[in-house]
Amino acid sequence: MGKLAILKELWDFLKIRKKWWLAPIIIVLILLGLLIIFTESSAVAPFIYTLF
């Protein structure tokens, strides 16, 4: 099972169960995860602490 299969399964769950209120929460969690990954090894890392 690939990474895209997990996303497809999540999308199907949201679509079938009508749990649309979960979508913004998942999007924010993904964006925060990407922010942490990309700023971990960059010169911007010291400035990320001002956001939190």
pLDDT in tens, 11-51: 888 888 888 888 888 889 888 888 877 777 767 667 766 77
CA distances from 40 to 3, 21, 47 (A): 22, 30, 11
End-to-end distance of the chain based on CA atoms, in angstroms? 35
Non-local (6+) Cβ contacts of 14 within 8 A are 20, 22, 23
Per-residue pLDDT, 45: 67
Residue type, 13: F
13 DSSP 8-state letter: H
Question: Which pLDDT does position 12 carry in this prediction?
Answer: 87
